[in-house]
Amino acid sequence: MTLTLGAQESRWFSAWASAHNVGREVPGLSGGSVRLIVRPTLSGQSLRIKFSNIRGSAPAVFSAAYVGVSGAGATVVTGTNRRLTFNGAATLTLAPDDMVWSDPVRFDVKAFQRLAVSLDVASASDVSMHTLGLAANYRADRPRAAEPSADGFVAVPTNAPDSTVHEYPMYWLAAVDVLSASAGGTIVAVGDSWIDGRCSTTENGVVRPDVYQRWIDVLASRLAGQRGQPRAVVNAGIGGNRIIPGGGNGSPTLQRLERDVLERAGATHVIFLQGMNDIGGGNSAAQITAAMQQVIERVHARGLKIIGGTLFPLARPDRAGWTRRMEEQRLAVNEWIRGQAPYNGVIDFDRLMSGGPVYDGNQSLKPEFTCDDNVHPNAAGYRAMGEFVDLALFSPGPK
C-alpha cells in the first residue's frame, strides 16, 4: 500500500518487530484480556500490526483488538484507544502457523512513544511468543481491551514455569509497521542473545523491564538524532538461537530469514551478529562461514545491504562451557568476517569487547562490560556497542 501526500509518496516501514521462538501454555487467558506494550522506532501517520501464531498448537481467538498510546503501567492514554479490524471484521481467529495483519488505521505514531495493543481473548490454550521481551505486559480476567483504565490488569508471568529468570515475554505480536513519507528505511538486526539483549537491563541480579538498553536501542536513538531521513531499527534476535539447523532456541536463522528479516517492510539494511551458539553446538568455522555466506547471498538477492558483526570472546573464570577448540573456531570465523566475507560493512565488536583475563589461552570480555554470567555484556557493554557502530554504514548509495 502506498499513499501520496503532496509530492511525496508514503510507504510502509517496519517500526517494531518481535521474532517468536516458543509456544507456551498460559492458563486462564480465555475470557479475559491482554495488554501488550510496544515501542516503535519510527514515526508515521498510520499503522498496521502483525499477529502471529507460528508457535501455537491451537487456534487463538480474539473478540476485539485495540491500539492506543501507553500510559503508566497498564493504562492507555484517554482518547487514543482505536479499534483494530481484520479484513473489515472486529474479530480474529489465528490458526496454528498463521500470521495476520490488521487493517491499516490512521494513528499519529511518534518514534519511541510506547503503544498499548489490547486484545480480548475469547479462546486460547497456548501462546506463540518471543520470550525475551524485556517489557512489562498485562492481563485481566475479563474483557477490558476497550477500556483505558488499568483496573483489573495484572502483570503477565515474567518467566517460564521451570525457570527463575525473568524475561517479560511478548505474546502474539510480531510487527508494527508505520506509513511514512519521510523515512529512509528500516534496519533489521538478526542474531542471538547479543542482539536480543540478554543482561542489558540486569542490575545486581534483577532484570528490569521497560528501560530499552539493548545496543540496538542505543543505535536507534543515535540514528534518530541525525539529520536527514529517519530510519527504524527493529529486533529479529532470539536468545540461544543458531544459524544452522540442528539445535538452539527457535527456528535457526537459515530457516527464519524470510519471515523475520527479508519480509520486513521498507528494509534497507540487515545487521547480522550470530554464530556463538553454533560454535557451542559443535559446528566448525567452515560450517558456520558457509551458513553465513548463504545468509549474505539471500540478503543481497533481495537488494538489501548486510553488515556483519565479529563474535565476542566467551571464556569464563570457571573455565566452563568454552574450550580451546571453540576459541579456535571463533577466531577463524572472525578472520573470515574481517577479510573474506562479502559484507557491505563490518562492525568489529570483538575488538571493542575483548580485553579481559585470558583463561587457558581463551579470551574473555572486558570486566567493565561483563554481566554476572560472564557470557553477555552488561548495560555498559551494550551501551558501548551501540555507540561503537559507525552510522556511515547505513548511508544511502552503493557500497
**Dihedral angle sign, alpha carbons of residues 92, 117, 184, 350:** negative
What totals of helices (H) and strands (E) does the chain contain, helices first?
8, 23
User: Distance of CA 396 to CAs 37, 172, 218, 229, 305, Å?
Assistant: 32, 34, 21, 10, 10
Query: Looking at residue 163, what is its pLDDT?
Result: 82
Find residue 116's DSSP bridge partners: 37, 68
Residues across the chain: 399
Find residue 359's DSSP bridge partners: 362
Helix ranges restricted to H, 302-361: 324-339, 349-353
What does the DSSP 8-state code read for residue 262? I
What does the DSSP 8-state code read for residue 362? B
User: Distance of CA 273 to CAs 182, 204, 267, 314, 377, Å?
Assistant: 28, 27, 17, 15, 14
Distance of CA 47 to the CA centre of its chain: 18
- Phi and psi at residue 381, to the nearest 5°: -65, -45
DSSP string, 92-145: EEE-TT-EEEPPPEEEEE-TT--EEEEEEEEE-SEEEEES---S--EEESS--T
User: What tens-digit pLDDT sequence spans the chain (399 residues)?
Assistant: 554 444 468 999 999 999 999 999 999 999 999 999 999 999 999 999 999 999 999 999 999 999 999 999 999 999 999 999 999 999 999 999 999 999 999 999 999 999 999 999 999 999 999 999 999 999 999 999 999 999 999 999 998 888 888 999 999 999 999 999 999 999 999 999 999 999 999 998 899 999 999 999 999 999 999 988 999 999 999 999 999 999 999 999 999 999 999 999 999 999 999 999 999 999 999 999 999 999 999 999 999 999 999 999 999 888 788 999 999 999 999 999 999 999 999 999 999 999 999 998 999 999 999 999 999 999 999 999 999 999 999 987 766
Pairwise CA distance, residues 2 & 144, whole Å: 33
- Phi and psi at residue 370, to the nearest 5°: -105, 130
Quick check: 175 and 18 in contact, CB under 8 A?
yes
> What cell numbers appear for 143 in the block?
474483557
Angle between helices 324-339 and 285-301 (to 10 degrees): 30
Instruction: Give CA torsion, residues 81, 121, 75, 141, to 10 deg.
Output: 150
Quick check: 380 and 388 in contact, CB under 8 A?
no
